[in-house]
Structure 1
């Protein structure tokens, strides 16, 4: 009843053009005409991104706010609208959402580290922006944030607390080298969380899209009225989505999250074309492996923190404290375990590569690791320590160094001494495609050396007649060419 009466009062103020100049007594009299008795009335200012002058009224039926102007008449509203709409489009272009925990200024600092300038993004393609943004994700969702979120924030969640053991195991798996498995383990939590958030309010929805919209609409409504001094009524125009997005940063955060969920994560697979590949349908239905990128684990952490934010807004009894970060024994223990996993991963990689080289065994490729970075590191180190250094000590001048080349797993260098020039290629192993041997010979390489033991060299290097092929440890530095 009170809402109907307040709507009638507001309509009268609008039509009689008295929003900015009605006195308290006149508002009390007008309310009486609409059968609403005002017991008390005070001047207030409320709002988040800017302050709105209003009358706060107290009645037996509840409290209400009567702003002293239309929403479109607020000072600097047009400048605010232009900024926030452009900022909203920026998040669409990079295929993400405004993350909780961060200010615009702090995010801008992180973006600059990956060569993204929010003020100049319009001149850059979406694919380029999204590719550059991939490098920002580990900085936004750092180990420190992960550890403190899961060890402290999630424990106070009625929705996510039950998943903490799985979340911890996923983090440890990620830093042990199993990024794709870790991501896959967490994706199903999203829909369970949406369902349980609605259960806090005894609401049921049949489709996932309905759950997304209902969760976010409910969070926006609760956020709106909390920031409006917890009144029971405000004019409809101050509840409109387009106004709330520019007047309340938390609601802007929610709307960017909604947009990403609906138009990226839950987008129909046939319309999905984002760089990250992080689409629920491609994952759940095995439509493709485009989602299998290590950086999507950081995205998953971001999604879960955003859902925690929604829960905190919706649940009136929530004990989740978003902006109080404390180091505890639990956070230190998890952080130490992550560091141990990273050290063990490095040791495991070194042991595996050594074993594979010594026994001429193939590398077991996984979606996370094809072994190339480790092989490239060994090629570079071997070239520097066992070829270039030895050549220099023998009077050769080395030049024209190549980076490790993935197709073929090799690295090259040229060296000169007096009037002689030699070209050397170092293969990761003898068991290299014959085409690579032939390409190197056609490009006039004098020596094709390889790491590890002699293994079916006649077969792999079949047809090589001019270049000298041999294990690195059998090579003797020539005096002249």
Structure 2
């Protein structure tokens, strides 16, 4: 049996000869004879496209010692690679503007929408739109799954997951700065745990580069189906636009390099998620960072680890919510509900003393708006639904812009959304329309036809809405009128 190094040396020699030949004229039989001449026992030679995403036109040599891919470098193949690479470089530039990376666990439709809305906007506007879109993607339940089911698969996050759980609960209980401060150092700690102990003295970005490079090496092996391939075709500069996982890992590395770990004097981003702003206390802007970004980034480090060690332990597809995630999610809702009561009591006490509640760095009024929204939801939506015979549960109360409830009976189910005000963006109405039977709002109608244009489900003020009796649902519509 030939040694592995000998086989690889033979493949390298065949590649060098193939690379310097007129590839359109060389026949498969000739290539087989080259391999036989190197002492390899050849079982077959074929030409086919290799790759999980973008395909590489290759001559594949099968031997009893292993297989090899010889990329065919025609003008057509070169143009195909250039076209894909230019497209992915353009996309990477948009992710750089958003101070983020190609995300795992987000469907292509949502990714496309995020990129389209960001492409021609300023960085500040693009990040505002990013936060808007991800508010319906990186939800409380999404974050809970990341903590319980994705972080739970990663050894490098074993000590960090309890901290992430506590930070998650504290954030929705109102302690936002403390939550963000707790998780910012966790990214570096997680990356350090991926690598051998002797690398701990290296600079932070050098450790990042090594961890991500290991994950990319495995992605390259999978791209070529475990076969030998020329080293130049396994590098990032070739696979960046050819393999989605390489693209995701490399844009994650670039985010760490150009945003998260950017030196304080060079960081000018609008996302405020910068380790040095936090570590050196030169600016309070880090307090405005988005918790969901941190949770997703830490979870992504867990995926990097699984690919670095080639054990595939981290889920590539987003898991369905299990009981642990559901309990954590409901625990966060409980903490948030308690915080809303506290906010209302605070506001009442300050008001009685002729004062305004003092501002805190991470509260722009969203908590109070959320408290008012939830109070009106209970009074004007949940109670009338229960009086009409429905069993009611909240399905989404993570936003200060809207809340969604699910009403159940033996006759069917009814999904209803309550908006903070009629004057909400039309895109929010359209998003809620996808899974709601009725969209209601607090207060009086205000340009309803304009804000809710094109929406087909019932829209109206919650105070004037009469829920259909549960026993007659199907005979009466969600708007309360007889059909």
Same fold (TM over 0.5): yes
Out of 184, 191, 196, the position equivalent to 1:194 is 191
Out of 121, 124, 127, the position equivalent to 1:127 is 124
Q: Which residue of the partner structure matches residue 31 of structure 2?
A: 27
CA RMSD of aligned residues (A): 2.8
Does 1:7 pair with 2:4?
Answer: no
**SS in structure 2 of the partner of residue 278 of structure 1:** coil
Out of 171, 174, 183, the position equivalent to 1:174 is 171
Alpha-carbon distance change, 241 to 147 in structure 1, aligned in 2, over 3 angstroms: same
Q: Which residue of the partner structure matches residue 399 of structure 1?
A: none
Alpha-carbon distance change, 171 to 373 in structure 1, aligned in 2, over 3 angstroms: closer
Does 1:228 pair with 2:221?
Answer: no
Alpha-carbon distance change, 221 to 204 in structure 1, aligned in 2, over 3 angstroms: farther
Q: How far, CA to CA, are the matches of 2:105 and 2:340 in structure 1?
A: 32
Alpha-carbon distance change, 15 to 175 in structure 1, aligned in 2, over 3 angstroms: same
Larger Rg: 1
Q: Deviations over 1:181-235 (max 9, x none)?
A: 11111111111111111239x855611010111111111111001121112x201
**Contact 2:260–2:275 (Cα < 8 Å) also in 1:** yes
**SS in structure 2 of the partner of residue 367 of structure 1:** coil
Q: How far, CA to CA, are the matches of 1:332 and 1:376 in structure 2?
A: 21
- Return 5+ residue gaps in structure 2 as ranges: 376-483
Q: How many residues are matched? A: 367
- Return 5+ residue gaps in structure 1 as ranges: 382-481
Out of 330, 350, 354, the position equivalent to 1:356 is 350
Q: Which residue of the partner structure matches residue 328 of structure 2?
A: 334
Out of 185, 189, 202, the position equivalent to 1:206 is 202
Q: How far, CA to CA, are the matches of 1:339 and 1:375 in structure 2?
A: 16
Does 1:299 pair with 2:296?
Answer: no
**Contact 1:177–1:345 (Cα < 8 Å) also in 2:** yes
Does 1:278 pair with 2:273?
Answer: yes
Does 1:87 pair with 2:91?
Answer: yes
Q: Deviations over 1:392-440 (max 9, x none)?
A: xxxxxxxxxxxxxxxxxxxxxxxxxxxxxxxxxxxxxxxxxxxxxxxxx
1:104-183, aligned counterparts within 5 Å? Answer: 104-109=108-113, 117=117, 121-122=119-120, 124-183=121-180
**Contact 1:10–1:235 (Cα < 8 Å) also in 2:** yes
Q: Which residue of the partner structure matches residue 40 of structure 2?
A: 37
Alpha-carbon distance change, 255 to 316 in structure 1, aligned in 2, over 3 angstroms: closer
1:138, distance to aligned residue in structure 2 (A):
2.6
1:309, distance to aligned residue in structure 2 (A):
2.0
**Contact 1:216–1:254 (Cα < 8 Å) also in 2:** yes
1:304, distance to aligned residue in structure 2 (A):
1.0
1:162, distance to aligned residue in structure 2 (A):
2.4
**Contact 1:47–1:227 (Cα < 8 Å) also in 2:** yes
**SS in structure 1 of the partner of residue 155 of structure 2:** coil
Alpha-carbon distance change, 80 to 376 in structure 1, aligned in 2, over 3 angstroms: closer
Does 1:264 pair with 2:280?
Answer: no
